[in-house]
Structure 1
Amino acid sequence: MPGVELDDQGCREVEICASLIDPNPSLIQSSPQLRALQTADIIARHCRLPVEIAPALDELDAGDWTGRGFAELEADPVWQRWNEKRGSSMPPNGESMAAVQQRIVSHIDQLCRARSGECIVLVSHAEPIRATIMHVARIALDDFHSVEVAPASISTLVADSTGIKLEQANQKAPA
């Protein structure tokens, strides 16, 4: 959701996550959303790197649902279908999970080709991260409930000559 900021707890969690990044990255990219940029800035200070904005890392476009609360959407049958069948439905005037997955996976593939062997930090949102994990793990988009992506968590992909592998998903910073 546009304009949402990190709270103090979120900032503390990101500080801890930043300390877990090893090796030091050569590139930090972020979604253009404010909370992602705040997250990337905390990591960038820790790693002494600038942040590059990458629109491909943006959150899912929720279309007509943008700005509406979950309680309000519960009675909407399209919302209910969306939460049961992410692979074959989409928000009204919004973006499908397949489109999100294509957008972010294409971006990651391009980075892997251009920056082979480098550690890169990408700061995104739950749905694009979930879509990426599902692609790499070959999980159908309709099974999106099987992949958890918590706020301020780290998921790690490793790319080599055989492709991209999921090394770790949803690592939370120790409390």
Structure 2
Amino acid sequence: MPVIVLLRHGLSSANVSGILAGRAPGVSLTDAGASALEANLALLPNRRFSRLLHSPLQRCAETAEIAQRAAEFDSVSADESVIELDYGDWTGRTLKELAEEPLWATVLRRASQAEFPGGESIAEAARRSVDRVRSLVAELGAEESKESPRWAMVVSHGDIIKAIIADALGMPLDDFQRLSVAPGSFTVIDYSGAVPVLAAMSVTAAGLAQSGAVGGGGIR
């Protein structure tokens, strides 16, 4: 029964500052973010996983370390396929400032057509992350050992997780901004049947109180 748990990194210093961190170095979890993450992980429906893959960025590496205290993993590795979008020239700028850019409307309404100056397109990021999850599901399905759990956890970023969810739901990428996952929340997708089933989304211990925006906000 291949099941993927998508865990968004906990609340970071960039989240608090309203900055689009992208792949900028030195972005860490806040103390409040780490504490909330621990509470969220206490709600996990499973405690034994075959794999833990995480974005190599600091905030996801820190999140993965906390996850390893809450559950058991047969293997843990950083994976470039689930790294944050390369926002290029937008990296490090405030969301308030970026909302004035002409590209902003494209990002919100026609995501499949959005390419960040000096960076990558949303479609490229969606393709690499979705392909990795599909290959991970295939790997889990091929495991023969009855002792090995066919669950895996992927620690990544908001837009990457939203793209993976959209694919599982058969949702066009242009609509993925209708989804929102809170910092530190986890989402569960069951890939055991003919089609993926979204079993839970943006689960947090504090519910909506954990974020200033309903569902934890997104790029909006």
TM-score by length of 2: 0.73
CA distance in 1, matches of 2:171, 2:62: 30
Cα drift, residue 113 of structure 1 = 1.1
Residue 41 of structure 2 is aligned with which of 18, 21, 31? 18
Q: Deviations over 1:72-124 (max 9, x none)?
A: 22322123332332121221122222111111111111111112261111100
Amino acid at match of 1:170: S
Corresponding residue of 2:81: 56
Cα distance in 1 for partners of 2:71, 2:203 equals 19
d(CA) in 1 for partners of 2:198, 2:178: 15
Contact kept, 8 Å, 1:59 with 1:125, in 2: the verdict is yes
Matches of residues 73-92 of structure 1 in structure 2 within 5 Å?
73-92=98-117
2:200 is aligned, of 164, 168, 172, to 168
Give the aligned length. 175
Please state if 1:109 is matched with 2:134: yes
Distance in 2, matches of 1:48 and 1:25, equals 6
Structure 1 counterpart SS, 2:70? helix
Matching of residue 36 in structure 1 with residue 68 in structure 2: no
Tell me how far apart the structure 2 counterparts of residues 168 and 96 of structure 1 sit (CA, whole Å). 28
* More moved, 12-21 vs 127-136: 12-21
1:151 pairs with 2:170: no
Bigger relative contact order, structure 1 or 2, given CA contacts below 8 A and separation 6+? 2
User: What SS class does the counterpart of residue 113 from structure 2 fall into?
Assistant: coil
The gaps in structure 1 that reach 5 residues or longer are none
Q: Distance in 2 between matches of 1:30 and 1:18?
A: 16
Structure 1 vs Structure 2: percent identity of aligned residues?
30
Q: Distance in 2 between matches of 1:28 and 1:19?
A: 17
Q: Distance in 2 between matches of 1:150 and 1:103?
A: 22
The DSSP-based 3-state class of the residue aligned with 1:29 is strand
Q: Tell me if 1:46 matches 2:70.
A: yes
Measure, in 2, the Cα distance between the counterparts of 1:60 and 1:6. 18
Residue 37 of structure 2 is aligned to residue 5 of structure 1: no
Name the Cα RMSD after superposition: 1.8
Q: CA deviation at 1:48?
A: 4.3
Q: Secondary structure at the match of 1:27?
A: strand
- Is contact 1:152-1:173 (8 Å) kept? no
Distance 2:138 2:99 in 1: 42
Q: Which runs of 4+ in 1 moved over 6 A?
A: none
1:161 positional shift: 4.7
* Farther-moved stretch of structure 1 (83-92 vs 57-66): 83-92
